[in-house]
Amino acid sequence: MNENLDIECEIKNILRVEGPLSVAFITRFLNERGIECTRQKVERVLRNLVSRGVVVASLQYNRRKQYQLGRKD
């Protein structure tokens, strides 16, 4: 469980710095930061973040999902 929290925090930091990204780029940046994870694990964490409203998913012109941080009210 603690590992998922670490991945969530890192994903939020990456999206804050880099802007909207696809799962492939998020996975790549996590692996470059030393957090070993697969694309499937990143997708699972992102689905959880989207359901909580922390991250927003949108489809781009190439039909790939891009994720970005949700707006703060």
Residue 22 sits in a domain of what CATH number? 1.10.10.10
Task: Please give the Cα distance from 26 to 33 (Å, whole number).
Answer: 11
Choice between 4 and 24, residue whose per-residue pLDDT is larger:
24
Q: CB neighbours (10 Å) of residue 55?
A: 20
CA angle 57/16/30 to nearest 5° reads: 80
Asked if 68 and 19 touch (Cβ cutoff 8 Å), the reply is yes
Query: What per-residue confidence (pLDDT) applies to 64?
Result: 84
Q: How many domains does the chain have?
A: 1
Is residue 72's pLDDT more than 80? no
User: Which residue range is the domain that position 6 belongs to?
Assistant: 2-69
Half-sphere exposure of 55 (CA within 13 A, CB side): 30
Q: What is the pLDDT of residues 25-56, one digit of tens each?
A: 999 999 999 999 999 999 999 999 999 999 99
Mean of the per-residue pLDDT values for the chain? Answer: 89
